[in-house]
C-alpha cells in the first residue's frame, strides 16, 4: 500500500494562496449577530433613571421596629405579640399620627417568609406608608 505524494518537480498542483472564504463567512455571521443585538441594547425611550445610593440609615426613636425570629414569633419592639392581628390593631392607632412613623421589619435570616408576609400585610392594612426591611452589612469578604 502506497500513497502518491507527488514529486519535487511537480509544482502545478501546489497552491500557495490563502483561502479567505471561511474568514469571510465568519465575519458575515458576526456582522449579522451584531446587527440583531444592537437594537436590543439601545432603547428609544429617553429616561433619567434614579441613581443608587447606599447610605446608613439612623433609626429614629419614633420609628416602629417589628421583629420576626426564626420560629416565626412576632415582636413589637421587644414585646411578644400573639399574632399579626395584634400588630394590625397597634399600627392602626399609630397610622393616624402626623407625621406618620416608619415601620422597620427585622426578619431572621432563617425564618420562613410566611410570618414576615403576615406582618407586612398587617402594616399595609393599617395604612402605614413607609416600610423598610433592616439588614446587616456584609462582613469582610462578603459574608
Q: State how far the Cα of 132 lies from the Cα of 113, in Å rounded to an integer.
A: 16
pLDDT, one tens digit per residue, over 21-63 is 889 999 999 999 888 877 666 655 666 666 655 666 665 667 8
This prediction has a pTM of 0.56
* Residue keyed to cell 417568609: 113
Q: What is the DSSP letter of 79?
A: E
List the domain boundaries for the chain. 64-137
Q: Which CATH number does the domain 64-137 belong to among 2.60.40, 3.30.70, 1.10.3470, 3.30.420?
A: 3.30.420
Q: List, for residues 78-95, the tens digit of each pLDDT value.
A: 888 998 899 999 999 888
Tell me phi and psi for residue 104, to 5 degrees.
-110, 120
- Residue 113's region, left for phi above 0, alpha for psi from -120 to 50, else beta, is alpha
Amino acid at each position: 500500500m502506497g500513497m502518491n505524494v507527488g514529486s519535487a518537480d511537480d509544482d502545478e498542483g501546489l497552491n500557495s494562496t490563502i483561502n479567505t472564504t471561511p474568514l469571510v463567512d465568519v465575519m458575515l455571521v458576526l456582522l449579522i449577530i451584531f446587527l440583531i443585538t444592537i437594537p436590543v441594547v439601545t432603547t428609544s425611550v429617553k429616561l433619567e433613571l434614579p441613581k443608587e445610593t447606599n447610605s446608613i440609615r439612623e433609626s429614629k426613636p419614633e420609628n416602629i421596629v417589628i421583629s420576626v425570629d426564626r420560629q416565626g414569633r412576632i415582636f413589637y419592639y421587644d414585646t411578644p405579640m400573639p399574632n399579626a392581628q395584634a400588630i394590625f390593631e397597634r399600627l392602626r392607632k399609630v397610622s393616624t399620627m402626623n407625621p406618620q412613623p416608619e415601620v422597620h421589619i427585622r426578619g431572621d435570616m432563617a425564618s420562613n417568609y410566611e410570618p414576615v408576609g403576615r406582618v407586612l400585610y398587617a402594616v399595609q392594612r393599617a395604612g402605614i406608608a413607609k416600610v423598610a426591611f433592616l439588614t446587616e452589612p456584609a462582613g469582610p469578604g462578603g459574608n
